Every structure is written in structure tokens, then in C-alpha cells.
Amino acid sequence: MDDAIAVRDLLVDRGGRRVLNGISCTVPRGAVTGLLGPSGSGKTTFMRAVVGVQVVTGGTVTVLGQPAGSPALRHKVGYLTQAPSVYADLTVRENARYFAALHGRGRAEADQAISDVGLAQAATQLVGTLSGGQRSRASLACALVGEPELVILDEPTVGQDPVLRADLWARFHAMAAAGTTLLVSSHVMDEAARCDRLLLIREGRLIADDSPAAIRAAAGVDDLDEAFLRLIRAGATSGGNAS
Amino acid sequence: MNPRILAATTGRILRQLRHDRRTIALLVVVPSVLLTLVYFMYADQPAPPGQPSAFDRIALVMLGIFPFVIMFLVTSIAMLRERTSGTLERLLTTPLGKLDLLFGYGIAFGLAAAVQAAVAAGVAYWIFDLDTAGNSGLVIGIAVVDAVLGVALGLFCSAFARTEFQAVQFLPVVVVPQLLLCGLFVARDQMAGWLQALSDAFPLSYAIEALQEVGANAEPTGRMWRDVVVVLGAVVLALVLAAATLRRRSG
């Protein structure tokens, strides 16, 4: 089977600055791929390009066999933006039902998505009255409610307590086991270890594209944090692109 | 456009409105309060013989202007909120079509305007004895068309506003000139030629003329229907332009 996402020589400029500088990589189907990198490294821009809402300067992004942003993909891709993009003046359930309806799903799927993110107790609460972590889970429920083939999650676990974070990651892996492809960004390295594959970007360039085990082996250390530091230093001295 | 998605979007916008009780109260009550002011302002002014009283003339026009102005503002802010909250970007990654969103706003706020116009017209006719030669149902119908015109222009103008401050500034830019030249302050045929030309180019002039036709004639006139068609044409044009300025991809 071909890859879920294939990116070639992706160039993106935002506000007169080159944000993505020639990224080429692939994301396998049915796995959780982590997009790691410090704040400002271009993770969100990369995800926007995959979803098809980013104007790109050059290169190609192919998603599920079609150019990113193709109308047919809108049924197949779920996108969680970094800032929770849900309606603050609607309840959690009303939000989930609306996004369910956009994807042709009903009330049962909406309620399922709400309980999957642990918000069943807060279903009738207005989103505007939720805590930051709850609000981002409400947004996550709206991204998952259409049962998309490809899920793009921009920092889904920020502000969640450790138990919930573990639950969410278990959920992501269950989805991957059922055939869903997930691309999950994070700037927290301890989440990298939970991914099947990792893409590490820094200053708009890809500096690693491998499994966590292979990255540890290549760097010669057990700690992923330390492994990334070594990769970054190696990249800085050679001035090259590790991929 | 997809009927299921359009219905879901219209329902979502109405649900947002329903949670905002204060806005509903303002929408329903304010026009009636302003009509009350106008009624007492002109209470002691005698009507010139053979002409409608000042209250009849002004209240009729106000019934069309309220929904237009208020729906323009409400829509500009609602659409700006969609942009700044990120919901618009997310919506455009879903199967929702641009016209589903734009018509959803048109229908939802059109319905809200119908309630507003019905209450204001009820107050004007029953409490203040507004007198029109034509049917009050036509007055409400034209008021709803005016509201939809406000929604359509609001959707289009919101594309050019990056902040709430800018969005609100479009009121004096887009709405006030149309109010000044629509024939409420100076009859259109008594204005200088270039002002008349401007007035002819503004859709609100036709909306107000349609109301005045209902005020002066017992039966709907051909001119009234022509005016309504012109306003609906302006609505379609504004919606098409709004769809053209709604970009799925941004920088």
C-alpha cells in the first residue's frame, strides 16, 4: 500500500520568511507518526500544507493519493488546529453534532466522540465555560467525529493531565490499529517515544525521519531528548540535512 | 451546496443565537423602543393635507432600515469571529461548501430578522396606529429582504476586516451613505444629479422605495416588485463576491 502522505521538496513562505525549506518525507498508513520540533520550527505550517489550507511556494503534497486540499479529501481528513477551534457559545454536544452533520454522521457518533475524549460529563456545558484542557478535547472530539482516514492533530495533548494524556495516546493507537493514519505534533519529547515513527523538524528543515528505536540507535543514546540534541548538533556542524 | 450541510449550518447559527439571550432581547426590543421615540417626536406635528403623517412616513422606512443595519453589523462580527477563532479554517477542511456557510448565515439571520420585523411592525401598526395603504404582510416581507441584504453585504465586507475595530468601521463606510441617500432625509428626485446617480447605485434605495410603494398603494405595484427584484439581485451579487473572497488556502 502506498503512503498516506507523500511530501516532496515542500517550500513555504509566510510573512516574507521561509518557514519550510525543502521538506521531503512520507507518512505510512495505519500508524501514529509524531511531528516533533521546537516552537516555531514549522510544525503547524507543515500540517496546514497537508490539510490543504496553506499557500505553498513550491513542492508537492500528496494525501491519500490526491493533491492536498482536493475536494474528495475533505471527507477523509480530520484536522485539529492548535488553538481549539470550536464554537464557545455552543455546548460540547452541539459542537460535536454540528461537525458530525458536516461529515454525514448522526447524534450517536457525536456522543461517542465526546465520550472518547472523556467529556461525557461536560456534554451539555457551553464550551466557553470549559477549562483550557477540556476545550481542546472538545475540539479534538470535533476532529474525530467524522471517523476520518487521516487525522492531523496539532498539539492535541497540551494542557491535559497525565492520566488523560495516557488515555488519549491509547485512543490514538487503537485508531491506528483499526487502520487510521495519525500525524500528531508535539514539542514534548516524552510523547515522541509513544509514536510509531518520528519526523523531527527544526528551522523549517527535516533533521530526522525514522522510528524512535532507530533514532536512539543512530544517536547512540537511550534518551530521545538527548538523541535529538545530538542530531541537531550533528546537523548544525555538517550544515546538512540528515534525511 | 448540500441541503443537509446547509440545514446543519443554519441550525448551528440559530443555536448560537439562542444561547445569547441578551442579543435576542436587544434584537426584539430595540426597534420598538426607537419607534416609540419617533412616535413621540412627531406626536404634535400636524400632517400636511393629503399626505401621510411624518410618523407614518418615517416609521415605515425605519421598519426596513432596522433589520438592514442590525443584520449587517451582527453578520460582520459573526463572520469575523469565525475567522479569528479558527473555526472558519477548520470548516473549510470539511465537506462544507462556501455557499453552505454563506446561505446558512443568510437564512439564519433572515429568520431572526423576520421575528424582529414582525414584532416592530406589530408595535407600529397596533400601538402607534401606523397607516399604510398596502398590506402589513408585504411590509414585513420587504423588511426581511432588507435584512438579508444586510447579511449579504456583511458577509462580503467581513472579508476586508482583519479586526473587530475594522469590521465596525464598515458601518459608516457601507451603511451610512446608503441611509443618507435612500430618500428618507431628502426625496431622491430633489437631490443633485450626481447624488441621484449614487442613490440609484445603492441597493437600500430600492428597498426603501418598495416600502414607500406599499405605503402609498393598496395593491402591490409593478415598481414595488421591480424594487424587490433589484434588492434580491444585489443580495445574490454580494453573496457571489463573498464566496469569491472566501479562500480555502491562506498564507
In tens, the pLDDT along A110-150 reads 999 999 999 999 999 999 999 988 999 999 999 999 999 99
| B223-232: pLDDT as tens digits | 999 999 999 9
DSSP A79-125: EE-SS--S-TTSBHHHHHHHHHHHTT--HHHHHHHHHHTT-GGGTTS
Determine, for residues A98 and B93 on separate chains, whether the beta-carbon distance falls below 8 Å. no
The pLDDT, as a whole number, for residue A241 is 46
Q: Is residue A17 part of a domain?
A: yes
pLDDT score, position A243: 42
More confident residue, A232 or B102: B102
Chain-chain contact of A81 with B249 (C-beta, under 8 angstroms): no
pLDDT of residue A229: 83
Q: Alpha-carbon distance A141 to B72, whole Å?
A: 33
Please report whether residue A178 resides in a domain. Answer: no
Which domain CATH number covers A196? 3.40.50.300
Q: Would strands A32-36 and A197-202 be described as parallel, antiparallel, or unpaired?
A: parallel
More confident residue, A47 or B164: A47
Contact (Cβ atoms closer than 8 angstroms) between residue A183 and residue A37: no
Q: What share of chain A is helix, strand, coil (3-state, %, to 5)?
A: 40, 25, 35
Task: Please work out, in degrees rounded to the nearest 5, the angle formed at the alpha carbon of residue B152 by the alpha carbons of B149 and B155.
Answer: 150
**Residue B42: which pLDDT band, with cuts at 50, 70 and 90?**
confident
- Beta bridge partners, A149, equal none
The predicted pLDDT at position A144 comes to: 94
- CB proximity B3 to A under 8 Å: no
Residue A236's pLDDT is: 64
Whether A1 is covered by a domain: the verdict is yes
Using DSSP, state whether B246 is helix, strand or coil.
Answer: coil
User: Where residue A176 falls among pLDDT bands split at 50, 70, 90?
Assistant: very high
Into how many domains does chain A fold? 1
A98 in a structural domain = no
Contacts of A1 (CB under 8 A, 6+ apart): A29
Residue A240: per-residue pLDDT? 45
Rounded average pLDDT over B181-209: 91
Whether residue A203 is contained in a domain is answered as yes
Q: Which residue of B has its CA nearest to A16?
A: B251
- Reported ipTM: 0.88
Which residues of chain B are within 8 Å of residue A15 when distances are taken between CB atoms? 251
pLDDT for the residue numbered A25? 94
Contact B8 A86 (CB under 8 A): no
- List, for residues A21-68, the tens digit of each pLDDT value: 999 999 999 999 999 988 888 999 999 999 999 999 999 999 999 999
Interface of A with B in 141-170 (CB under 8 A): 142, 146
What band does A216 get if pLDDT is binned at 50, 70 and 90?
confident
Q: How many CA atoms lie within 13 A of A80 on its CB side?
A: 29
Is A230 part of a structural domain of the chain? yes
* pLDDT higher than threshold 60 for residue A242: no
- Model pLDDT, residue A237: 63
> Helix axis angle, B21-41 relative to B98-122, nearest 10°?
40
Structural contact between residues B82 and B155, judged by C-beta atoms closer than 8 angstroms:
no
Measure the CA angle with vertex B237, ends B231 and B242; round to 5°: 125
Q: Give A149-162 pLDDT, tens digit per residue.
A: 999 999 998 888 88
Neighbours of B27 (CB within 10 A): 22
What's the pLDDT at A239?
47
Residue whose C-alpha is closest to residue B141's, from B227, B73, B69: B227
Average pLDDT over residues B47-72: 87
Interface of B with A in 32-51 (CB under 8 A): none
The overall average pLDDT reported for chain B is 91
In a domain, A87, yes or no: no
Domain residue limits at A35: 1-69+186-243
Judge whether A112 lies within some domain. no
